[in-house]
Every structure is written in C-alpha cells, then in structure tokens.
Structure 1
Amino acid sequence: MDEFGSVNGLVDTIITSPPYADLVDYGNQEEQVGKQSYEDFLDDIREIYRQCYDIASDDCTLWIVTDTYKTGGRVVRLPFDIADELENLSNYETCLEESCEGALRRNRADGTLICRTCGEVYDPLPESWRMEDNIIWDKLRTRPWHQKGRLRNVYEHVTMFSKTDDFKYNKDAIRITNTDEFEQWWVNYPERYNPKGIVPSNVWEFPIPKQGQWGPKKSFHPSPFPEGLVERIVRLASDPGDVVFDPFAGIGTTLAIAEALDRKPLGFELNEEYIDYYEEHVRPTAKREVGTVQSTLRDEQAELARKIYTLRVHKYALELYKEFVNSEEHDIREGQIEFIHAVSDSAQFGEADEPEAELLYVCESESDFENVDVDAAREGMLSENKGSGDYYGVEFDPEFITLHDYLSERLPGRDIDLEDEYHLYIDGAHNWAEHSFTPAAWKALVEDGDWKRYWSKSRPPLISNMHIQAENPMDKRKPDAEGHQVDFSSFD
C-alpha cells in the first residue's frame, strides 16, 4: 500500500468473487468471510464493499462473479441479495425522522426506501453502489451434477456496479473482430457494422480453467477465474496505469492479468498457499502469455477496419451508380457508364474519423453525363433507414469523367499513394476481387477496349486500388470441391 500513497480515489476497477457463504472450502482461515449464517455473511459482504466504495475513484466500477445455489429445498438468490445490500450501503432500516421510528421498505422499481409509518422517502443510491448490468457467464463446461428442480448449472452471474454515473466503460477495447461471429448479412451491409468490431452481448462464453492452466496439473483452487473473462473486464473498465483491486484475490488471476495488461494490481488474500502459488505460477504465466494478446488485438482491429471500409466504399460506388441510372431526374442510361474507378488510401482506415474516397464514373464522352446532377443523386440516396448514404462514414468525392481524360490525366488517381495493383469487381459484387492488374496493365486494357469483356448483367465493372475477397454468407452459391465459387462456366 505504501506504493500508492493516499487511498482516496485509489481504486479504479474492482473485480472479484466473494466466498459463497459456507458452500466452498477455501482453506482453514479464521477470518474467512462465509463461515457464518447467511444474514451475517451478507452483513460482512456489505461492510467489505462499503470499504471498497470509500477507496474507489468516481469512475470506478465493481464486478462481482456469483451464482445462485440451492439449500434446504430453496434457491438462494445470492447475486441479487448482494445487489440489495450494495445499493443500501448505509443499511438504513428505520425512518431517519426524529419523531418517527417506522420501518423502511424498498421500492424495488427505483431503489428508494419508503417509511411505512410517515411515508418519507430516502434514496440510498447516491452513497451506494448502483447495479448497472447483469451478465451471464456461460462456463461451457462444468460438473455433471443435477437434481430435481435444478438442471445442470453451466453459467454464473457477473454483476456490474458503478459508484457514479461517470463510470469508465471502454467498449471499443472489447469489440469482437472475428467476422465469423457477425450476423450473416455483414458483407451485404457493411455500413451497419462498426469498423472497430461489434460490442459483445451480455452472454459471455469463457470455459472454466482446466487443471494446470496456471501451473502444476492439480486442482489448486476451487473456483479460479478464466483468463478471458478477467481480461475482457479489465479492458472494458480500466485504462493502462489504473489500479485493479480484488479483495478476495484467491490465486491472483485478476491481479496477474491486470499487471500483464499494464494496470497496477492490488489484492488481499488470507491463504498463504494461494499467495505462494500466485507468485510461483499465476503471475509469471500471465506476464508471459496475456501481454502478447494486445498487439494481436490491434492487428485484428486494423484488418477489420480495412475490410469494413473497403466494403463500404465499393458498395457506395455501386449504389450511387444505381441512383444515376434508375432515377428519372438523371438523363443517363445503363451502358453509358463504362466502368467505375474507386480510389482510397487504406492507411486512413481505422485512423481517420471519415476516410476519403474518390469515385470516378467513366463515360465515352461528356454528352453522356452532361445532364447528370451528382449532388442530387447523392441526396436521393439519403433516408432515415440504415444503409442510406448517411451511414457509410466515408467522405466521398464522386464525379463523372470522359474516357480520354481518365487515360490522360486521372489514371491511376490523384493525390493518393496507390498500391501496386488494381483489383476488378464484376457483376455488381463489392466483396470479391475476380482479377488483379498492375496500373500499366489496366491502362492497356482500357486503351484497347478489352475491359468491356468484364461487363455483366448490365452492370459496369468496378476497378479499385483496394483488395478484398470476403466470402458472403448470404450468397447461395456453394463452393465446389476445390473451394472455388461455382458459376455457369464450371459446366462447360
């Protein structure tokens, strides 16, 4: 504690799991919470978390992992009994008016306390923990025990509390970047997906640790936290340099992972064997393994941003084309737009709030597009519906250009540090590059008119400096035996 100086506002995040009354044996410790009646246990829990409240910063959150259990034929609602205690840290039971000693009852809708005698209302929440969320932790594997009226228990509760409304909540730090976990329409509607990933639901899947995960292959602690669960909370609820506290530290999983993620660990534990195990096995293992995840996560987020923005640019280019040819306001028909060229600097993706993209709609002559109002077409795409032009998050610069000017002035693009290749998307697909060319090879194709063979189904080809080949889960075509997409040419 000397390292931290004053305890005022010391703790930034608290992650813990208290002893479950007298259900679990954590060793013969005289001062262990839980070795008493249930009501006395709740009194102790309230007092411990009141002390946590006193040393917590204003943006601190408290995360408690608990579960219900059955005893004497009745389910004990431990997560919510604890919540009731924490939302009334002062333990008000009787009216505070001098002339009234009426009993207080809780208004379960808003957490206030109402005197049964005089009707006075007290709100203990400004000086108590406030329950913000209740997350289900799916343990994926568990003991095979069950009983009448009680199926196999495969989950626990992770209850989140805040000290004030201004609590730290870094949801961008825990976004899911694996597109296999996205809904099946993510390729068709990339504008609906945050380039940083999707926010997890309130059901978290983390397997309980196997024996030997933190050291020798033996069951050293009856209920250790899984690494992924703690890591997600630490990233969500704290910043590097913050103090992460566990008042029931056990073998120190919370502390070890917090330290590996550049936080300051602080915890209490009565069992000296657990402390030794933490120093010998848990802490060095976490430092070695957990820290390496950070750079991997950054790489995954950067790759997802590249995919999402590439899909957005390509889709917008094709949707704006449809607006040009389908709207009666514009005197242009299918076939007059030879091809579309999309150019953007992928280095902006994930860095700029709104990356820029240049869209060139190439026509044979100026007469093809002299009556086209680009701004009006862009306005025509806007609506309150997601998927309209408002939702792409890209600063587009669309314009029409003649084939001559494209070849002489604008190829390969302006003010853009282009990659070495152009990539061709055909048949209205914005997600799968069918061919790739050097800029010189593409220029030769355009000069010779050979690009026209890539027209299909009355849709112009899209040429882009951005490459993506993202399988579309909504695509009904099935891969053939070699994993390629089957089309009519496969049956020649």
Structure 2
Amino acid sequence: MKVKTNKELINKIYNEDSRNLLNILDINIKIKSTITSPPYFDMKDYGSENQIGFGQNYEQYLNDLQIIFDKIYSITEDDGSLWIIIDSFKRDNQVITLPFDLSNKLKESGWLLQDIIIWKKDKTVPWSKNGFVQRKFEYILFFTKSKNFVYNKDNVRTFDTNQLKKWWVKYPERYNPKGKALDEIWEFPIPVQGSWGDQYIRHFCPLPKEMVSQMIELSSSEDDIILDPFTGSGSVMFQSAVMKRNYIGFELNSDFIKMFDNYLEKTFSNSRKEYELIDNLKGQSDFELQILNLRILKYAKLLIRDLDKQKINYFKIFVKNKGKSEIKNKLIKAEYTFVGEFKNVDDTLANINELILKPPFSKFGIEPIITFSNNIKVFKNKNFGYIKSNSYSFQKGIDLNSEKIRIISDICVDFNENDYL
C-alpha cells in the first residue's frame, strides 16, 4: 500500500471518526496547534452513528476524549498547543464540571494546562434550566505539549487607542509599546445563523471567526498545520486556510463537509484578500512609536520636576529620539541635552545619574544620554515646545525661547486625553 506524503494528507476534512486519526495521518506529520470544541456530551445529537457524547455514559465520553487527545499529543510538535472550548452542564440537580474533569484526564496524557480563559458571549449550549442562572460564557482551556511553546502575544495586543483608557496619553509608561495584552476574558458573540453567508451550514455551535483567528495567531505561524478533530461547521479550518495555515479536520457528518467545501470554494478568495489587506503591523508600529515618544518626553518632564525641587538654576531640556537601545530591558535611546547655566556640571550630572537609577525613571525602558550645553539652536518649523506640566501636547503660538517652554524636541505629539475614552 502506498504511503501518502504529508502534502497529500493536509488541507482536507476527513469523513472519519477522530478516534482513528492515527490510522489516517502519518505518525511523522506534525501538528502545531489543535483548536476544537468537542461534542456537548449527550445533549446534542450530531446525526452520526457511534458518535462521541450522544448515547454514551459520562465515563465513556471522557475516556474517548482522552484517547483522542492522547493521540493528538503524539503528533503535536514539541512547541505546539491545544485549545479546547468546552462548558459545564447540569445533571441530576448538580453541576457537572466537565472542563475540569477533562483537564485532569489530559494531564495524565502529558498535556500542560497553561491558561483557563472565559469566553463571554450572548448565549451558550446547553441552554439554561431550572436552578441555573442565565449562561453567558464558556471555558477555553489552553494546553501545551511542553513548557517551551509558541505564544505570539505581541501579535494580538490591543493598539487601537480608541479602545484604551484615556490616561494612556498621560501615563504611557503603563502600556507596553506593542499594545495592551490580552486578559483572561474574551468577548466574542456567537455568530447568528446566516452571518457566514446564505450558503453556509446551520450548525449547533458555530465558533466566532474572530476568536478562532486570535487562537491561530497566538499559537502558530503561516504554513503550520492546524487540526480540528471535531470539525463541525469548519470555522477553524476556514480561518486556518484564510490565514495561510495548513489544516486537517475530522467530521462524521458528511453533509457538514460538503457545506464547508462549497463555502470555501465560493468565499475563500475574497476572505484571503481581506486577510492580506489588514495592515496590523503598520498600525502596531505607529502605536509603538507613539508610546515611546510619549515616554521620552514624559521622562524629560519628570527630570525637570525633580531637579526644580532642588532649586537648580532655570534650564530647558532639548530631547531627541536616538533609536532602538541594545541594552537588555531598555527599549529606546534618547538624548537629553540640558541647556542653561549650571554652577557645577559634574555635581548636576551625578545628581541626574542617581535619579534615573530609581523609579519612576527606571520603569520607562529608556537608555538616556545626558549632555549639557550653554545654548542650542532651535528651528521653528522643525522643533516643538512643551510646558512643564504637559508633555503630550506641544504648545501652539508660544515662542520656543519663552520661559514657559521647558522641553524642546523634534518629536511632535499633540494629544487631547479627553478624545480617548
């Protein structure tokens, strides 16, 4: 019998029981990330014989899931991962903690539980019953094969300034320049029927494509292989294809597979174009530069604040962004030229060096270059002035030589904090 190559095995959904996945896949094939939502125990009949969940008792159900994820573990790359979307349910007047029962089973197989995320949504399956509060969330269990795993957290940070608290402008040191990190609650509404288009399948538990995209982005790179052993509507497979990943799925219901193939054929081209047009990296780069520039200017403002308390003669600070720092734990280099008459430059420099080793200065990620000058030439159209109390909005209509101007820089920022709610 001819052994299929990896290229022949990928980018398809198999109409097979995922308990037999190693009979289909070559042991040498390597999965980067598995993203799936297993059947909801016996609460939904997915229309196939010998299906997992429906018609089984709870122990049989858990054992079958363990068998599947144990096999997936064996073909997962060492830095690979597993995402499981799953929920608790109620039986015999008590809550059955399925997410945690399954987690304990998977730990026996070697999977490491790294995170428990709450998926907040409008409604869930199973539906509310007597004694249950209204259900609006499910659990997302994130496992890895080893302690060294792919987790591209910088790729999914929030850098849309309209979604940040308004004080990001005044306190840039509190934000990672790459953006705000994900938290443990993800808000994605369940797709309504028809939201994927009239051609797409009506499935019990469709997953939001934005949420699936986030998981794919976090745990894989282009050309990696994504697996879903319970493919269902195929949302994981579709997003994998759109995001230039390879995919493998298993699904017992052949009607679901036909609908997926039809949908992929009709919508893939436009969806891929949308993916390629999203210029996230440029937007993130812009945000990073804004945060670093705000940090550089605020650093100067704080230097003025602390040195003014020490009754040092009047001075201004001329500020320049000098590019990326090569020092560990420093993000950016900035030159701070102190312009004024200083009685003893050595003593002032020693004072500054003592200050910048301590918080808040040590928290800014700035490698400062400190220089002194009696005078410095400024250019009206190239330099911008900032007052002592505001380093996030340059002053308009004020001469740069005015005593009100304490910071002069070729960095131009002009933010109104009230614009960012």
Alignment of 1:141-160 (within 5 A): 146-160=128-142
- Over the aligned positions, Cα root-mean-square deviation in angstroms equals 3.0
Q: Which residue of 1 aligns with 2:18?
A: none
How far the C-alpha of 1:150 sits from its partner, in A, is: 0.8
Q: Which residue of 2 aligns with 1:305?
A: 288
Q: Which residue of 2 aligns with 1:120?
A: none
In structure 1, stretches of 5+ residues that fail to align are 90-127, 413-418, 437-444, 474-478, 484-492
Q: Which residue of 1 aligns with 2:309?
A: 326
Relative distance call for 1:140 and 1:375 in structure 2 (3 A) is: farther
For 1:42, give the aligned amino acid. L
Does structure 1 retain, via aligned residues, the 8 Å contact 2:335–2:369? yes
Of the candidates 104, 109, 117, which is equivalent to residue 135 of structure 1? 117
Q: Which residue of 1 aligns with 2:407?
A: 462
Segments of 4+ in structure 1 off by > 6 A?
none
Q: Deviations over 1:363-410 (max 9, x none)?
A: 2xx456646522431322332x4xx2222222222222122xx13xxx
Greater mean deviation of Cα atoms: 368-377 or 293-302:
368-377
Q: Which residue of 1 aligns with 2:370?
A: 398
How far the C-alpha of 1:234 sits from its partner, in A, is: 0.9
What is the SS of the residue equivalent to 1:88?
Answer: helix
What is the SS of the residue equivalent to 1:451?
Answer: coil
Does structure 2 retain, via aligned residues, the 8 Å contact 1:9–1:58? no
Of the candidates 333, 338, 343, which is equivalent to residue 361 of structure 1? 338
How far the C-alpha of 1:148 sits from its partner, in A, is: 3.2
Does structure 1 retain, via aligned residues, the 8 Å contact 2:385–2:400? no
How far the C-alpha of 1:187 sits from its partner, in A, is: 2.6
Of the candidates 398, 402, 417, which is equivalent to residue 472 of structure 1? 417
Relative distance call for 1:382 and 1:283 in structure 2 (3 A) is: farther
For 2:65, give the aligned amino acid. I
Q: Deviations over 1:196-238 (max 9, x none)?
A: 1121111101111122222217761111110111111111111
- The answer on 1:86 being equivalent to 2:130 is no
Greater mean deviation of Cα atoms: 223-232 or 177-186:
177-186
What is the SS of the residue equivalent to 2:230?
Answer: coil
Q: Which residue of 2 aligns with 1:254?
A: 236
Q: Deviations over 1:423-478 (max 9, x none)?
A: 33224211112338xxxxxxxx9xxxx4344x44xxx43222222223336xxxxx
TM-score scaled to structure 1, two decimals? 0.73
Rg: which structure is higher? 1
How far the C-alpha of 1:139 sits from its partner, in A, is: 1.1
- The answer on 1:30 being equivalent to 2:49 is yes
How far the C-alpha of 1:74 sits from its partner, in A, is: 2.3
- Identity within the alignment, %: 30
Paired with 1:303 and 1:244, the residues of 2 have a C-alpha distance of 31
What is the SS of the residue equivalent to 1:157?
Answer: strand
Relative distance call for 1:209 and 1:283 in structure 2 (3 A) is: farther
What is the SS of the residue equivalent to 2:302?
Answer: helix
Greater mean deviation of Cα atoms: 216-225 or 153-162:
216-225
For 1:297, give the aligned amino acid. N
Paired with 1:354 and 1:145, the residues of 2 have a C-alpha distance of 49
How far the C-alpha of 1:308 sits from its partner, in A, is: 0.7
Of the candidates 381, 400, 414, which is equivalent to residue 451 of structure 1? 400
Q: Which residue of 1 aligns with 2:30?
A: 10
Paired with 2:27 and 2:268, the residues of 1 have a C-alpha distance of 27
Does structure 1 retain, via aligned residues, the 8 Å contact 2:32–2:79? yes
